[in-house]
Amino acid sequence: MSFAAVALGGGHGLHATLTALRRVTDDVTAVVTVADDGGSSGRLRRELGLLPPGDLRKAMVALAGADPSSALWATLFQHRFGGTGALAGHAVGNLVLAGLLEQLGDPVAVLAEAGRLLGVRGRVLPMCTEPLSIEADVTGLDDDADVVRRIRGQVAIATTPGRVQRIRLHGPGGPGEAPRGCAEAVEAVLAADVVVLGPGSWFTSVLPHLLVPELHDALVRTSARKVVVLNLVPQPGETDGFSPELHLDVLCEHAPALRVDAVIADVDAVPVPDRLRRAAAALGAAAHLAPIAVAGAPDRHDPTALASAVTRALAGPGDGTGGASSTTLQEDRTSRGGEAPWR
């Protein structure tokens, strides 16, 4: 089986999706958020003015080859320096990517070059080729719970004790400058057979893709089957107290024109399945509930179980309407000559 799959997200959530997708297809493209401002990535971004490399590194490791040389490079990319000096906390892969960015300039070329070291199967692309900033409207930070405060920065948003209402993205010039999507990422979404959004930090890793105008347009226009994978547990700070269906409501608020084919959620993480089915139907999707968490670790997706859930979601009806089989995906791709019907 082989179909063109594009996964959008960042961090550990995207790593889980990529690890699952590579079990069912050899043609996987990761489109990665580039707004991180914390940890090693944040330091490199502030000191060198470069694209934050951490989430890009994690995606590359998820798609790395299984041969001994690729496995060694993948392990090295994840290694972090200890101690208390200038290198403390930096991942080796972050430094390699930062060095390549200074040498080559073009992030797409950098990721292709690094991908050869790791024997990457598929591609890793940045959401945008310049670092972005996230801004959020947050309530619950004052005695008056309705007062809206503006918080800036991915780390600040991810750890706020308030309730995030809405996010905005800014280009490197700050407020007023719209982010510009990576052309190769936009092309990958338009040419895909399957697009997967989530899991991951909802406001800082998943929703940002919908706020890049070119990517938003591509996600709305693509003829690919679109799958949303929900988180297993609420994330402290970002989505404390969020029900599974509220995640979909927020998705719809940020991208009202987006329609989805399937929503996948862990069966044990959905207290009221009917509510999720209704929320999925509002996006045009069928809800697919399955055990997709690691046994004994309810906050971690099991890649094999997630791969099976994605396959089932594409092959037929879930808890709602139907999907499409992998055979149908291949037939669709052949019938349109690999092109989207509006071209």
pLDDT at 335 over 50: no
149 located within any domain: no
289 located within any domain: yes
276 located within any domain: yes
Predicted pLDDT of residue 175:
84
User: Mean pLDDT over residues 92-121, rounded?
Assistant: 96
Residue 26 corresponds to which tokens in the numbers above?
């050899």
**324 — pLDDT class (breaks 50, 70, 90):** very low
CATH number at residue 258: 3.40.50.10680
φ/ψ (deg, to 5) at 268 = -80, -10
Predicted pLDDT of residue 145:
83
Nearest of 276, 216, 195, 241 to residue 14 by alpha carbon: 195
- Percent with pLDDT over 90 in the chain: 78
One-letter amino acid of 252:
C
144 located within any domain: no
**268 — pLDDT class (breaks 50, 70, 90):** very high
C-alpha 232/C-alpha 202 separation (Å) is 12
337 located within any domain: no
Task: Report the greatest alpha carbon distance in the chain.
Answer: 59
281 located within any domain: yes
As a whole number, the mean pLDDT across the chain is: 89
Tell me the pLDDT tens digit for each residue of 212-239. 999 999 999 999 999 999 999 988 778 8
pLDDT at 331 over 60: no
Predicted pLDDT of residue 337:
39
247 located within any domain: yes
Question: Helices 92-104 and 68-78 meet at what angle, rounded to 10?
Answer: 100
- Number of structural domains (the chain) is 1
pLDDT at 334 over 50: no
**336 — pLDDT class (breaks 50, 70, 90):** very low
User: Mean pLDDT over residues 104-132, rounded?
Assistant: 96
pTM of the entire predicted model: 0.89
231 located within any domain: yes
φ/ψ (deg, to 5) at 118 = -90, 0
Domain that holds residue 206: 5-128+182-315
* Inter-residue contact 22 to 70 (CB < 8 Å): no
Long-range Cβ contact pairs of 150-156 (< 8 A, separation 24 or more): 153/37, 154/35, 154/36, 154/37, 154/38, 154/204, 155/37, 155/38, 155/42
